[in-house]
Structure 1
Amino acid sequence: MIGVWVVLGVLVAGTAAGLLLRARNGRISAARKPERELPEPVARALEPGTPVTLVQISTTFCAPCRHTRAVLEPLAERTEGLRHVELDVTDQPEVAQALGVLRTPTTLAFSPSGTELLRISGVPKGAAVLEALDEHLHPVPEQSK
């Protein structure tokens, strides 16, 4: 009888962990305050004329990273003012560490000046990304007085 309770406990714990991970996947969160300068590969990826650059932090053997690329590349191609860059940090973990990235894929949105606008952990949903970046992609002009 104890064996049945152990199996049931493991199933409940596994289900709870799976539901928690699913709920957190693709979640858009507020930008972090910069603690220091941007790592050189990230700073090099930013273009002055592009309002928002999505920097996807990936690793070589990350399957969700491929899904993230499949969402963000077409999104950037069809959205004016949006650019997507993927950085593989497999051989440069210091880049992920400097950005405070703990898992891949993580996508960070940056302004041309290097200000972090938001971050997305896991595979994002295209519509949610556009909604979160709307004010940066389509700034409202100030009213004339």
Structure 2
Amino acid sequence: MTGVWALLGVVAVVAAVGVLLRVRDGRVRTGKEQRVDLPREVRELLDPGTPVTLVQISTTFCAPCRHTRVLLADLAERTEGLRHVDLDVTNLPEVAAGLGVLRTPTTLALDARGTELLRVGGVPKRDALLAALRDYLPRPNG
């Protein structure tokens, strides 16, 4: 009977961890809004003429990365002042470590100077991401 209780306990813990991970997936977290010493590979991706660059940190065999790539590319194409780039860190673990990235996909929103505005672990929720970026993007004329 003790084995049954132990099994039920393990199942409960695994279920709780699964729920926690699902709730955190795609959540927009505000950045430190301070300039960090970005790795060279990331600095080279920034465009001084673009207010916000979404840097997607990916790996080769990451299935959610493909979905994120499509979502972010479409968002950037439809949003003035927003640019999307994808950085594959499969062979660049030091870059991921330097950015504090523990999972892929992770999306960093950086301003033209390299200040981290926000970050998303997992596949972003489009509307939440766009709402969080509004203050950093040019206002439409009208």
Whether the TM-score (by the shorter chain) exceeds 0.5 is yes
SS at match of 2:129: helix
CA distance in 2, matches of 1:42, 1:138: 23
Residue number in structure 1 paired with 2:106:
106
- Number of residue equivalences: 140
Tell me the CA shift for residue 139 of structure 1: 5.2
Instruction: Give the counterpart letter for 1:72 in structure 2.
Output: L
Alignment of structure 1 residues 75-86 onto 2, 5 Å: 75-86=75-86
Change (3 A) 1:130 1:94: same
Residue number in structure 1 paired with 2:6:
6
Residue number in structure 2 paired with 1:58:
58
Tell me the CA shift for residue 37 of structure 1: 2.2
Change (3 A) 1:34 1:101: farther
Instruction: Give the counterpart letter for 2:9 in structure 1.
Output: G
CA distance in 2, matches of 1:35, 1:9: 45
Instruction: Give the counterpart letter for 1:70 in structure 2.
Output: V
Q: Conserved in 2, the CA contact under 8 Å of 1:53 and 1:112?
A: yes
CA distance in 2, matches of 1:109, 1:31: 8
Percentage of pairs with the same residue: 62
SS at match of 1:45: coil
CA distance in 2, matches of 1:11, 1:97: 32
Instruction: Give the counterpart letter for 1:138 in structure 2.
Output: P
Establish whether residue 26 from structure 1 lines up as the match of residue 53 from structure 2: no
Which whole-Å deviations, capped at 9, do the CAs of 1:57-99 have from their partners, x for residues lacking one? 1111111211211221111111111111010001011111111
Residue number in structure 2 paired with 1:121:
121
Please report the TM-score for the alignment, with normalisation by the length of structure 1: 0.89
Residue number in structure 2 paired with 1:143:
none
Instruction: Give the counterpart letter for 2:46 in structure 1.
Output: L
Q: Conserved in 1, the CA contact under 8 Å of 2:67 and 2:123?
A: yes
Tell me the CA shift for residue 6 of structure 1: 2.1
Question: Which ranges of structure 1 fall in alignment gaps of 5 or more residues?
Answer: 141-145
